[in-house]
Amino acid sequence: METPRVGVGVFVVKERSVLLGRRRSSIGNSTFALPGGHLEFGESFEECGAREVKEETGLELEKEKMELLTVTNNVFRDPPEPRHYVVVFLRSAVADPNQSPENTEPEKCDGWDWYRWDDLPSPLFPPLQEMVNNGFDPFSSE
């Protein structure tokens, strides 16, 4: 039986917009998702979030200003492999607001862009869509 894994997703924010990319993956292929990835042994959530955002987008984050927003429990039952992820969601701004995201892992993502929170693209990655459906707002505690 598969053991649950821990993921970290980052709401990289700029004004009322979030950074999203279209996934190229066996889970949620062609859906729009936040940057993020797997927590590595010994890493803090903030270290993981900053590392993953840097690896995927080239962006440097304000690590000292990262905030924990929420945690979700996600079970993907669809083939080819069922997966179970506990995902920690953080919020951060880009350290240099003039820096633009790059698609540094084109095999995993079709590209990154900024989307206003009140005008998100479709389809969203299912866990993100569920958060939106439940009224989650990454800007509500600012």
The model's pLDDT over 64-93, given as tens digits with 9 standing for 90+, comes to 889 999 999 988 887 667 889 899 999 999
Residue 128 lies in a domain: yes
Extended strands (E) in the chain: 5-14, 17-23, 32-33, 36-38, 67-76, 83-93, 109-116
Task: State pTM to two decimals.
Answer: 0.93
Number of domains forming the structure of the chain: 1
**CATH classification at residue 19:** 3.90.79.10
Range of the domain at 109: 5-133
Residue 141 lies in a domain: no
Q: Which amino acid is at 129?
A: Q
Instruction: Quote the mean pLDDT of the chain.
Output: 92
